[in-house]
Chains A and B, each alone.
Chain A
Amino acid sequence: QVQLVESGGGLVKPGGSLRLSCAASGFTFSDYYMSWIRQAPGKGLEWVSYISSSSSYTNYADSVKGRFTISRDNAKNSLYLQMNSLRAEDTAVYYCARSRQPVHGGYYMDVWGKGTTVTVSS
């Protein structure tokens, strides 16, 4: 079945780095745009980053621009988020989610993973 599974979360000190992964299965990964969305404890959803199906386009929320890098490997059906210079305010559950290509109406995210938890603390 269609599935997204995140991994790579954990406890990291402020200023440290972490790389999240999202494994896709059950659909043609290379046909879809992908996003990372996070949710701080007790807070709402915050979109973090977005990558096109061919990796030609990426975008980031201002809160992570210059510190986080999104990438994908279509041969491995995998999405990644490299997080550097981590801050306490980056503590959150990180979800990956898919959307269709914009030309095909990809204006929403129809499949989400269950999330991986990142805690930034000394």
Chain B
Amino acid sequence: EIVLTQSPGTLSLSPGERATLSCRASQSVSSSYLAWYQQKPGQAPRLLIYGASSRATGIPDRFSGSGSGTDFTLTISRLEPEDFAVYYCQQYGSSPRGFTFGPGTKVDIK
């Protein structure tokens, strides 16, 4: 079973700053199988990035994903007020089929 670790647990930044979030897998993950979600308080998660680097429909280009193997990164180039939220990485397991989430990184206002 692949375990995902996210760091840091909390990231305190100001609007306009760059955010770099890390997701590390306990063993190699296909880039196709890695996604990122954003969740705001009281809301359902929203898909941001799939296939490690492809933006979902309607996601601003300040969000970007990169990485391969065991190390993946979500970057928010310039934080907007609406970007302060919790971010989860997720990987897909093909055998048995299912999903695993990382513990999340909270991006809050400094």
Say whether A and B bind each other.
yes
- The size of the chain A interface, using a CB distance under 8 A, is 21
Pair A44/B92 contact, Cβ less than 8 Å: no
Contact A107 to B44, CB < 8 A, known contacts A45-B101, A59-B98, A61-B98: no
Q: How far is the CA of A35 from the CA of B43 in the complex (A)?
A: 18
Pair B97/A50 contact, Cβ less than 8 Å: yes
The one of B47, B99, B103 that contacts A47, using a Cβ cutoff of 8 Å: B99
Pair A50/B99 contact, Cβ less than 8 Å: yes
Contact A35 to B99, CB < 8 A, known contacts A44-B104, A107-B32, A112-B46: yes
Interface size class of B (residues with CB under 8 A): 20 to 34
The one of A35, A102, A113 that contacts B94, using a Cβ cutoff of 8 Å: A102
Within 8 A of A (CB), among B43-95: 43-47, 50-51, 56, 86, 88, 90, 92, 94
A-chain residues with CB within 8 Å of residue B39 when the two chains form the complex: 45
Pair A59/B45 contact, Cβ less than 8 Å: no
Contact A47 to B97, CB < 8 A, known contacts A107-B92, A110-B47, A110-B56: no
Pair B50/A107 contact, Cβ less than 8 Å: yes
Q: Residues 97-110 of chain B: 1 if any A CB is under 8 Å from the residue's CB, otherwise 0?
A: 11111111000000
Q: How far is the CA of A87 from the CA of B104 in the complex (A)?
A: 25
Q: How far is the CA of A50 from the CA of B90 in the complex (A)?
A: 15
Within 8 A of A (CB), among B7-63: 32-33, 35, 37, 39, 43-47, 50-51, 56
B-chain residues with CB within 8 Å of residue A37 when the two chains form the complex: 45, 99, 101
Instruction: Quote the shortest CB–CB distance from A29 to chain B (angstroms).
Output: 18
Pair B94/A44 contact, Cβ less than 8 Å: no
Q: Which residues of B contact A (CB under 8 A)?
A: 32-33, 35, 37, 39, 43-47, 50-51, 56, 86, 88, 90, 92, 94, 96-104
Query: Nearest 4 A-B pairs (CB), nearest first?
Result: A108-B35, A107-B92, A47-B99, A112-B44
